[in-house]
Amino acid sequence: MFKPLGLIRSRAWLLAAALTLSANLACAAYPDKPIRLVVPFAPGGGTDLIARTLGFGMSTELGQQVIIDNKPGAGTIIGTDAVAKSAADGYTIVIATFAHAVNPSMMSKLPYAHDKAFTPITLIGRGPNVLVVRADSPYKSVKDLIAAAKAKPGSLTYASQGNGTSAHLAGEMFTNLAKVEMTHVPYRGAGPAITDLLGGQVDMIFGTAAAISTMVSAGKLRALAVTTPQPAAAFKGVPTIAETVPGYSVESWYGLYAPAGTAADVIQKLNAAATKAAHMPEFIKKVEQEGLSVVASDPAEFDRYVKGEEARWRKLLKENNIKPD
């Protein structure tokens, strides 16, 4: 049957309008189900604590539960890979750390295309690592550790939450610049690493401030030095490693990524929720007492920061011949 051209155009316009409205409603509806925040470490460590505190605040802002999913192993690669291969719909994100910027230089091959697999959301914050020993340890300073390591090369052990993590490379940088030999013992997260430190299975850890601060405050661990070039306000009276080992500098950071291809408006909503959550009094109180400075950046600033860290560590790893265990 013949249909007037005007009627056809009118129906086409109505169809286009309906499709646009449907798309807008779909975007407006995000999120309409819980969001999974993957933590590439075991429960109980500093990253897990930060993710859970931040996730609670984000849940309030987004109106949907943020579920923590711990996927430890392979220096964060297992959990990170799971997110890289997830749907780019905003319902699976990962909390990334120092290891995210180091793994491309540490590993000969990653199971994902590092520079193409993720979309940045926000840099949550930055802070120092802290060199700690048990409260009853005979080592009371960085000089004590160096003297002991030189007296018995390879006998001292330091734990980490996995290969390529800040605790690992902080130790590698220390042994390289201090010209000593120590043995690295990797774990599947800061929680089990600190448990073994307290139990006497290892001698020390260059732990993230978030992971060790509670034990330091409780008097179970002794802080010998911080890894940043300047002293940390959260650890008053604790010297820097650089005072004894010139040129030493390591910093931890935490940020959020979504799979590549996640829609810009979804990233914007996640960024806004994370920013508000990071500035909530409960979050600030929790992280500042543990040495973390809140940043809550936009995606572009986070991307620039991580690329700068990748370049810095690629250069240092090569110059200092630091390789994974």
Please write the tens of the pLDDT for every residue from 101-120: 999 988 888 999 998 999 99
Residue 104 confidence (pLDDT)? 92
Residue-wise burial string across 262-284, b where 16 or more C-beta atoms lie within 10 A, e elsewhere:
bbeebbebbbebbbbbbebeebe
Question: Strand 157-160 to strand 66-70: parallel, antiparallel, or no bridges (unpaired)?
Answer: unpaired
Residue 286 confidence (pLDDT)? 82
Q: Does pLDDT of 325 surpass 80?
A: no
CB atoms < 10 A from the CB of 32, how many? 10
Share of the chain above pLDDT 70, in %: 90
What CA–CA distances, in Å, run from 171 to 1, 54, 132, 180, 198? 80, 28, 12, 11, 18
pLDDT single digits (tens) 309-322: 999 888 878 876 77
Query: 167 lies in a domain?
Result: yes
Question: Strand 35-39 to strand 183-186: parallel, antiparallel, or no bridges (unpaired)?
Answer: unpaired
Res. 3 pLDDT band, cuts 50 70 90: low
Query: 236 lies in a domain?
Result: yes
133 and 237 housed in the same domain: yes
Residue 294 confidence (pLDDT)? 93
- How many domains does the chain contain in total? 2
Q: Among 6-10, 67-71, 156-160, 248-252, where is mean pLDDT lowest?
A: 6-10
Q: Does pLDDT of 208 surpass 50?
A: yes
3-state helix, strand, coil in the chain (%, to 5): 45, 20, 35
Average pLDDT over residues 241-260: 95
Residue 66 confidence (pLDDT)? 98
Distance CA 7, CA 4 (A): 5
Query: 324 lies in a domain?
Result: no
Domain with residue 235: its CATH number is 3.40.190.10
Average pLDDT over residues 80-88: 97
92 and 191 housed in the same domain: no
Query: 230 lies in a domain?
Result: yes
214 and 259 housed in the same domain: no
Q: Among 35-39, 146-150, 297-301, 315-319, where is mean pLDDT lowest?
A: 315-319
Query: 19 lies in a domain?
Result: no
Q: Does pLDDT of 295 surpass 90?
A: yes
Average pLDDT over residues 39-64: 93
Residue 32 confidence (pLDDT)? 96
Query: 21 lies in a domain?
Result: no
Q: Does pLDDT of 77 surpass 70?
A: yes
212 and 76 housed in the same domain: no
Spell out where 102-142 has E strands. Answer: 118-134
Q: Among 54-58, 125-129, 155-159, 271-275, where is mean pLDDT lowest?
A: 125-129
Q: Given the structure tokens 């179970």, which residue do they identify? A: 220
Residue 25 confidence (pLDDT)? 46
Which three-class secondary structure string do you get for 262-320? Answer: CCHHHHHHHHHHHHHHHCCHHHHHHHHCCCCEECCCCHHHHHHHHHHHHHHHHHHHHHC
Q: Does pLDDT of 12 surpass 90?
A: no
135 and 239 housed in the same domain: yes
Which three-class secondary structure string do you get for 226-252? Answer: ECCCCCCHHHCCCCEHHHCCCCCCCEE
Query: What letter does residue 121 receive in the DSSP assignment?
Result: E
Query: 237 lies in a domain?
Result: yes
The identity of residue 251, as a single letter, is E
Q: Does pLDDT of 137 surpass 70?
A: yes
Residue 291 confidence (pLDDT)? 77
Q: Does pLDDT of 166 surpass 90?
A: no
The structure tokens listed for 137 are 């340890």
Distance CA 160, CA 162 (A): 5
Residue 93 confidence (pLDDT)? 98
Distance CA 163, CA 184 (A): 9
Residue 84 is part of which domain span? 32-127+251-319
Where is the domain boundary, 190, 225, 243?
243
115 and 149 housed in the same domain: no
**Contact 274/283 with Cβ under 8 angstroms?**
no
pLDDT single digits (tens) 28-44: 589 999 999 999 988 98
Nearest to 123 by CA among 105, 104, 100, 89: 100
Where is the domain boundary, 243, 268, 294?
243
Res. 10 pLDDT band, cuts 50 70 90: low
Q: Does pLDDT of 22 surpass 50?
A: no
Where is the domain boundary, 243, 269, 290?
243
110 and 257 housed in the same domain: yes
Domain with residue 95: its CATH number is 3.40.190.150
Q: Does pLDDT of 2 surpass 70?
A: no
**Contact 191/46 with Cβ under 8 angstroms?**
no
Nearest to 31 by CA among 100, 114, 111, 89: 89
Query: 94 lies in a domain?
Result: yes
Residue-wise burial string across 290-323, b where 16 or more C-beta atoms lie within 10 A, e elsewhere:
bbbebbbbebeebbebbeebbeebeebbeeeebe
Residue 21 confidence (pLDDT)? 45
167 and 194 housed in the same domain: yes
